[in-house]
Amino acid sequence: MTAHNGEAVDEQALIARAQQGDAQALAAIVENHQRTVYNVALRMCGNPHDAEETLQETFLSAIKALPKFEGRSQLSTWLYRIASNACLMQRRRQAAGADMTSLDDGEEERDEFDPPKYFVDWSVRPDDVLLDGELRSVMEDAIAQLPEALRIVFIWRDLEGLSTAETAEVLGISEGAVKVRLHRARLQLRELLSHYYAESRAGSRTGGPADAKA
Amino acid sequence: MPKPDCRQLLAELSSYLEGEASPELCREIERHLAGCPNCQAVVDTLGKTISLYHTLPEEDVPDEARRRLWRVLHLDLPPR
């Protein structure tokens, strides 16, 4: 038996025990996934308070729904779908009546992309993110500026490392939509980081939007 | 990015950077990039953007939040 099959068997056994209400099995599931769910929620909601509420709701819903889990998808995919829905519900409550995009919003499926404004090249070192608190905060703010439908795709694909197929399953959208939204999110983040780098270069305005007309 | 070529290229950049573009498309893109410094800058900084975000660290669930989660779920909090 391959290691992969072995893991699948372990997971099935764990789920079966959890479905019988075995506290240790439930605890193992929560322990394995709480960090991912919390980080996704933190970036979707933008503050620790709402992220914590989302974390609790995700696992409360999951434990309630677990007896009906049929194993058609991986447990993580199933859980992350619950987490994604909990994030969107939390965002709706935050917006309290404001217009919200939904995940099946066709607008984001346009395959035209806004033309770039910044053509400045900038250099980064591999450990810049770890060392530079300001850069990290600019990067986090940039994520927060993405429309929700793009943000949640970007978080699962580029931050949590899910595949295109897994992200599509988690969000209940097509793989094509995942690719288009991911690309659109990355282009927007590139603009925001380029803006930051252009502005942070003392006295330099080269490469900014004014040069884009060239 | 005023030229139509640049617009077409823009749509393909993620698949190009991830090595998912066909060899023909790659050749076409590289031919374009060789003569278009603006698109070259976009490709370079898009690649850097993706790499930067791949290294963005995650947070641990804060201790208090973790304690409250396990209490709400009626489970015994395991040691960290």
Inter-chain residue contact B52 with A130, CB threshold 8 Å: no
Do the Cβ atoms of B73 and A194 come within 8 Å? Answer: no
Q: Give me the number of domains chain A comprises.
A: 2
Assigned domain for A100 exists: no
Residue A177 lies in a domain: yes
Residue A138 included in any domain: yes
Of A34, A129, A212, the CB nearest to B52: A129
Same domain, A140 and A201: yes
The Cβ of residue B72 has, within 10 Å, a number of other Cβ atoms equal to 14
Residues A170 and A145 in one domain: yes
Q: Identify the CATH number of the domain in which residue A182 sits.
A: 1.10.10.10
Strand segments (E) across A31-135: none
Q: For the CA atoms of A92, A96, A99, A104, what is the dihedral angle to 10 degrees?
A: 10
ipTM score assigned to the predicted complex: 0.92
Provide the pLDDT for residue B46.
96
CATH number of the domain enclosing A52: 1.10.1740.10
Contacts 24+ apart (CB under 8 A), A9-13: A11/A74, A11/A75, A12/A71
Boundaries of domain holding A34: 3-95
Question: Are A131 and A167 found together in one domain?
Answer: yes
- Same structural domain for residues A118 and A75? no
The per-residue pLDDT for A1 is: 44
pLDDT of A105 reads: 52
Distance from CA of B35 to the nearest CA of A (A): 14
In a shared domain, residues A23 and A80: yes
* Domain identity same for A199 and A110: yes
The answer to the question of residue A101 being in a domain is no
- Residue ending a domain, among A95, A126, A151, is A95
What tens digit of pLDDT does each residue of A114-164 get? 889 999 889 887 778 777 889 999 999 999 999 999 999 999 999 999 999
**CA distance, residue A1 to nearest chain B CA (Å):** 31
Q: Using an 8 Å Cβ cutoff, are B65 and B73 in contact?
A: no
Which regions of chain B are under pLDDT 70? 1-4
Number of CB pairs, chain A paired with chain B, less than 8 A apart: 127
What's the mean pLDDT in A93-119? Answer: 68
Instruction: Tell whether A147 is covered by a domain.
Output: yes
Query: Is B50 an interface residue toward A (CB < 8 Å)?
Result: yes
